[in-house]
Amino acid sequence: MTSVGSGLTLLQTCALSLLVFTGASQFALVGALAAGGNPLTAAAGAFFLGVRNAFYGLRLSQLLALPRAVRPFAAQWVIDETTVVALAQPTRRGARIGFAVTGVTLYVLWNLTTLLGGLGAEAIGDTDAWGLDAAGPAVFLALLAPMLKSGVERAVAGLAVVLGLGLLPVLPGGVPVLVAALAAPAVLYVQGRREARDGKGEAR
């Protein structure tokens, strides 16, 4: 619904859900496009948000040990939920079943609800008038908030917000999201320097 309300056609919205099966990346892409951002910068922001799935894939590749011919298709279902379910199983067979069942279920439901939401947005008309333009960011924040458990994670999120909102008036749409990605290495660098300094202090 948010995607169609932001200017994408129903076909483009459904294709996006079919090909980019990761909610955070989809919301980032749609949000940047809705703000008038360049499609390339919007795609770049979505790409960086989806990079974490590559690390999931490295772990799942060892755990599931799927045949080579199946791996490219299984890669499409490497997301947070399938990873958690697979890792929670005590055996490789259980992990494969958990991964497959979770992947199929979520992929079908995700694309079905995308279609229904797109049809609903077309029926409603101007989604901004209903306040639905805020749905994407609200859902993204709801997904992100439970993950911020440590002080470092909260610091990264806070700095990213400051960078993103602070640069929004002066940079083209989509670019502030890319700059905000620098929050993680910046916070980790400061933390590393602090730990190194504390280590030297204890050594003395």
pLDDT tens-digit profile of 135-171? Answer: 656 666 766 777 788 888 889 889 988 998 898 788 8
Contacts of residue 56, defined as CB under 8 A and 6 or more positions apart, other chains included, come to 78, 79, 80, 83
Q: Show Cβ contacts of residue 81 under 8 Å, excluding neighbours closer than 6 positions.
A: 102, 106
The amino acid sitting at 10 is L
Closest-CA residue to 104 (of 203, 9, 21, 175): 21
Segment 11-54, tens digit of pLDDT: 888 888 888 888 777 877 777 776 666 777 777 777 877 787 88
Domain regions of the chain by residue span: 2-132, 148-204
8 A C-beta contact, residue 34 and residue 3: no
Our measurement of the distance from residue 101's CA atom to the centroid of its chain's CA atoms, rounded to an integer in Å, reads: 21
For the entire predicted model, the pTM comes to 0.61
Q: Quick check: 175 and 41 in contact, CB under 8 A?
A: yes
The amino acid occupying position 80 is D
Six-digit token string for 3: 């995607």
